[in-house]
Amino acid sequence: MSRKIRMGMVGGGRGAFIGGVHRIAAAIDQQIELVCGAFSSNPEKSRLSGEDFFLPADRVYGSYEEMITKEKELPEGERMDFVSIVTPNHVHFGPAKMALENGFHVVCDKPVTFNVEEAQILKKLVEETGLIFALTHNYTGYPMVKQARVMVENGDIGKVRKVVVEYPQGWLATKVEDTDQKQASWRVDPAKSGMGGAMGDIGTHAENLAEYITGLKITEVCAELTSFVEGRRLDDDANILLRLEGGAKGVLHCSQIAVGEENGLNIRIWGETGGLEWHQQEPNTLQVKSLEGPTVHYRTGVGSLSDAATAAQRVPAGHPEGYLEAFANIYKNFATCVRARLEGTEPDELSKDFPSIEDGLRGMIFVEKVVENSRGNEKWTKL
């Protein structure tokens, strides 16, 4: 099939942050092209955004309903192949459901939906249609994260005993939402964000990273959520004890009131014979520790790494493998699987490595149970 995979976008118009990230990431490997979009719930803003992206006027739509309906009417060689959803949380479910029902594959920003019930409906739809669904937990796209996962899987640190994962930010240390800051206003609004504030926004990234690297599912939580900023309706800080499969224990904390912090997603994992440590703000390095030997620093682009880490590398050693490249790895793998589906072939195993609807549902269950536990009197709540 000698053409690019065609993407339609919902959201991500003028003034949006994450839409630009998705468009850049999708374009990095030159496997995907943006062909249409409903870039805003405001039809005029959507039209102007389409002009910014040099799209034909008849492929810029005033709503996602119109886009999916009109695109389905186009010939197969012309219509979009998948929908990328880059809206606030409360506008994930509608376009994802309609896209799946009309035969389009889906890429969706996280968390996957507004609540667990919606995620369960999408999971059932994905299973029934057989369509491909990717969730952009982008931190799983880093080469050293993939290296860590392979090392745990291979038993290089022995049976996992303890996981400590954290995601501190400081940008909501004051009531920024009162200044009409767009990114803040919807994230602290339970009608748009859902039941979790910092928990849904960044806590789900920490949860997903812990499960992705260890291969262990979180089974129980003991949580305390806090809204430190007076008048804020959703949590801006979370401290959670974890129990994982196989008897491993963990600690997860995330915060958006940690003054001076940027995007401090970090994870440490200890097994019976060794440990691993990775910091998102220093993404090229994975620290590997052992009982008796020295700590070894694995570096992107240096030495012999796993096939998964090597496949995710994009630049020579010494150049940071960054946020956009990690995002692009999800789009690249997703596009490879869509292309294989269109060609009637089977993609290789490495290309199937991207977060799925199952990860999305687990994330929503995690948020729901953490909130439930924090509000209740039970010490532990099962997932």
The answer to whether the beta carbons of residues 144 and 265 sit under 8 Å apart is no
Which residues 6+ apart lie within 8 Å of 140 measured at CB?
146, 208, 209, 212, 326, 330, 353, 354, 355
Yes or no: say if 54 and 67 are a contact pair by the CB < 8 Å rule.
no
**The last residue of a domain, from among 75, 100, 131:** 131
- Residues 124, 146 within the same domain: no
3-state secondary structure of 5: strand
CATH code of the domain containing 52: 3.40.50.720
| Residue 124 and residue 155 share a domain | no
CA proximity to 18, closest of 6, 7, 26, 29: 26
Domain end position, chosen among 80, 101, 131: 131
Torsion sign over Cα 80, 86, 87, 90: positive
Report the C-alpha dihedral over residues 253, 257, 260, 261, rounded to 10 degrees: 30
Do 44 and 19 have their domain in common?
Answer: yes
Residues 236 and 105 in one domain: no
Residue 357 forms part of a structural domain = no
Residues 245 and 110 reside in one and the same domain: no
- The 10 Å CB-count burial string (b at 16+, else e) for 137-170 is bbbbbbbbbbbbbbbbeeeebeebbebbbbbbbb
pLDDT for 188-211, tens place per residue? 999 999 999 999 999 999 999 999
* Same-domain check for residues 90 and 231: no
- Cα–Cα dist 141/333, whole Å: 10
For residue 184, give the nearest of 174, 162, 346 by alpha carbon.
174
Task: Evaluate whether residue 188 is within a structural domain.
Answer: yes
Asked whether residue 330 is assigned to any structural domain, the reply reads no
Is residue 348 one of the residues assigned to a domain?
A: no
User: 180 and 274, same structural domain?
Assistant: yes
Residues of the chain with pLDDT under 50: none
Whether 165 is covered by a domain: the verdict is yes
The pLDDT assigned to 314 comes to: 92
Same domain assignment for residues 175 and 285 = yes
Q: Are residues 106 and 185 in the same domain?
A: no
**What range does the domain containing 281 cover?**
142-315+362-382
Number of domains the chain is built from:
2
In a domain, 331, yes or no: no
Instruction: Let me know whether 184 and 119 are in one domain.
Output: no
- Asked whether residue 123 falls in the same domain as residue 156, the answer is no
Domain-embedded: residue 346: no
Residue 355 lies in a domain: no
* CATH code of 219's domain: 3.30.360.10
Q: What is the pLDDT of residues 172-190, one digit of tens each?
A: 999 999 998 889 999 999 9
Strand ranges for 245-329 from DSSP E? 249-255, 266-271, 274-279, 282-290, 296-299
Identify the domain boundary among 131, 162, 195: 131
Supply the pTM of this predicted model. Answer: 0.96
pLDDT tens-place string over residues 73-92:
999 889 999 999 999 999 99
What's the pLDDT at 15?
A: 86
Q: 214 and 71 in one domain?
A: no
